Amino acid sequence: MANIVELKNIHKSFGENHILKGVDMNIKKGEVVVILGPSGSGKTTLLRTINFLDSADEGSVTIHDFTVDCKKHTKSQVIELRRKTAMVFQNYNLFQNKTILENVMEGLVTVKKYKKSDAEKVSREILGKVGLAERCDFYPSQLSGGQQQRAGIARALILDPDVILFDEPTSALDPELVGEVLNTIKAVAQTGITMIVVTHEIAFAREVASRVVFMEGGVVVEEGIPEEILVNPKEPRTQQFLKRITNPNASDEPG
Amino acid sequence: MINFGFIVQSVPALIKAIPVTLLMAFAAAAAGWLLGLGIALIRKNKVPVISQICAVFVSFMRGVPMIILLYISYYALPVVVYNYGMSIGREIDLNAIPAVLYAVLALMLDQAAYSSEIFRSALSAVDEGQMEACYSVGMTKSQALIRIVLPQAMAIAVPNLSGLFLGLVKGTSLAYYVGVYEITATANLLAMPALNFIEAYVMTTIIYEIISFIFNKLFRGCENRLKRFRAGASAA
């Protein structure tokens, strides 16, 4: 099957700081790719270069046969590429001045030029699916973090993108709210939509991922099916990371 | 002694002058704030060259006393206009241009400079994530600005704009010096023959206070409407 997302030789620096050092990635339709790695490894930056929220310095991004060169691109190319993607943010980033329903409708109405009544109908349906049917007319500031994030997922889903990018979707949540959001993401994964998820939730990765990618220092260190990477990692750096994350009290440096 | 007869006599004339004051304020605010928003957007987006020009303009306008600005507008500008008219072979009748226009021009430029800083800080106060979310659903920059960022920035800007507007209403009294008969000028004119200055200024004060009170309420109402979306927001 053809790749739906192709990243070629992605390089990105912020000033002196070389964050991404040549990342290649090919993702097939329907794959759920979970990116793991210590903080500062460039996983969030990689995600943001896919929809050009951060524009990579070198390389190219291809989504559904549409390629954009990171070095040389026009505004309209970037917009077209973005319209093939959707993103779920760590801090939800719901439109604060819009109700939950309007948040979900926004992309349909402004970008996809739906009629308002049609947009409202499908938006209410999808909000029902993420369990927010009763919260349609609330503003984001009136909802819990978990509810806001589920609305964020609905806002991404409704656009029917080729790929949804999840940027640490549960990292800003109170611990007791993580479960409801992960369950929603799991349900989305089962619909067969292509997803790239940056997360620290190992258990979630094991359960949902069709492929796990481990990044460190701006490169992909190791990738494979979750059973391989999470249970029997070959690379020492992956082993260390998993040890640290599953047993936070263990220190890898002696003394 | 307070001359109550004078007060009763001059009230109608003062009330007639209120629209002149308000008209100047409205015109200067409407045009000035639009210009100010434009300047704020240009500077926020760091448009090359124009952005620097705007920065110099704002700095200059904030440094020059309002009264000097009025004098420049009233005494110097007509000369420029006249000379320009002659250079294209047309004699412009400067008397046909009412003084109030020069006053509004000066007030407008002043408002543009001050409001641009208010808009700029309000735009910066809107979370970056809002813009990113707009981009993530495929919106263009102008769609994002108009539909998401500006409405939120306005809610932040209104309290400061309210203060700016009240300052402007009082600032219109300086137009007296270029011969515009608004409230202050009218009061002075009425007071002069019998030296009823105390009475005239007491009345003037009361009128300005009432205007301020009303507009303060209006802006407060506007603010509450605009920040409706923050209703029920937690303390965090």
SS3 (DSSP) at B213? helix
Dihedral angle of Cα A181, A186, A192, A194, to the nearest 10 degrees: 60
For B139, the closest chain A residue by CA position comes to A111
How does pLDDT run across A70-90, given as a tens digit for each residue? 999 999 999 999 999 999 999
Contact check, Cβ <8 Å, B130/A155: no
**Which among A53, A83, A139 has CB closest to B229?**
A139
The pLDDT of residue A181 is above 60: yes
For A110, the closest chain B residue by CA position comes to B139
Q: What are phi and psi of A24, to 5 degrees?
A: -115, 145
pLDDT for the residue numbered A253: 52
Interface residues on A facing B, Cβ-Cβ cutoff 8 A:
51-53, 79, 82-83, 85-87, 89, 91, 93-98, 106-107, 110-111, 139-142, 155-156, 159, 165
pLDDT for the residue numbered B235: 36
How does pLDDT run across A60-74, given as a tens digit for each residue? 999 999 999 999 999
List C-alpha distances in Å: A147 to A109, A188, A205: 23, 16, 22
Residues in B closer than 8 angstroms to A94, CB to CB, are 133
How does pLDDT run across A119-157, given as a tens digit for each residue? 999 999 999 999 999 999 999 999 999 999 999 999 999
pLDDT for the residue numbered B214: 97
List C-alpha distances in Å: A203 to A183, A212, B191: 12, 12, 85
Contact check, Cβ <8 Å, B229/A141: yes
Contact check, Cβ <8 Å, B148/A95: yes
List C-alpha distances in Å: A86 to A116, A157, B136: 21, 8, 6
Instruction: Give the whole-angstrom CA distance, residue A195 versus residue A202.
Output: 16
Residues in A closer than 8 angstroms to B234, CB to CB, are 141
Interface of B with A in 168-197 (CB under 8 A): none
pLDDT band at A246 (very low <50, low <70, confident <90, very high): confident
Instruction: Give the whole-angstrom CA distance, residue A21 versus residue B162.
Output: 51
Residues in A closer than 8 angstroms to B137, CB to CB, are 82, 86, 106-107, 110-111, 155-156, 159
Sign of CA dihedral A69, A70, A74, A80: positive
Instruction: Give the whole-angstrom CA distance, residue A235 versus residue A229.
Output: 9
Instruction: Give the whole-angstrom CA distance, residue A138 versus residue A177.
Output: 19
Edge-to-edge strands, sheet with A219-224: A85-88, A163-167, A195-198, A32-36, A211-216, A219-224
Contact check, Cβ <8 Å, B136/A141: no
Instruction: Give the whole-angstrom CA distance, residue B88 versus residue B94.
Output: 16
pLDDT band at A215 (very low <50, low <70, confident <90, very high): very high
**Å between A69 CA and nearest CA of chain B:** 18
pLDDT for the residue numbered B231: 64
Instruction: Give the whole-angstrom CA distance, residue A146 versus residue A175.
Output: 10
Domains with residue ranges and CATH for chain B: 4-235 (1.10.3720.10)
Contact check, Cβ <8 Å, B133/A156: no
Total beta-carbon pairs less than 8 A apart between chain A and chain B: 84
Amino acid at A10: I
> How many CB atoms are closer than 10 A to CB A247?
9
Averaged over A30-42, what is the pLDDT?
93
Comparing CA positions, the residue from B208, B212, B161 lying closest to residue B37 is B161
User: Does B234 reach chain A within 8 Å, measured CB to CB?
Assistant: yes
Residues in B closer than 8 angstroms to A95, CB to CB, are 130, 133-134, 147-148
Q: Helices marked H in B95-196 — which ranges?
A: 99-125, 128-136, 141-144, 150-171, 183-191
User: Does B140 reach chain A within 8 Å, measured CB to CB?
Assistant: yes
Residues in A closer than 8 angstroms to B151, CB to CB, are 97
**Which among A53, A95, A156 has CB closest to B130?**
A95
Q: B147, B126 in Cβ contact below 8 A?
A: no
Residues in A closer than 8 angstroms to B123, CB to CB, are none
Probe site for chain B from A74, A89, A96 (most B CB atoms < 10 A):
A96
pLDDT band at A163 (very low <50, low <70, confident <90, very high): very high
Contact check, Cβ <8 Å, B229/A96: yes
Strand A85-88 and strand A32-36: pairing? Answer: unpaired
pLDDT for the residue numbered B236: 35
Give the residues of chain B that fall short of pLDDT 50.
Answer: 233-236
SS3 (DSSP) at B118? helix
**Å between B41 CA and nearest CA of chain A:** 19
For A49, the closest chain B residue by CA position comes to B136
For A95, the closest chain B residue by CA position comes to B130
The pLDDT of residue A252 is above 80: no
SS3 (DSSP) at A168? coil
The pLDDT of residue A9 is above 60: yes
Instruction: Give the whole-angstrom CA distance, residue B233 versus residue B10.
Output: 51
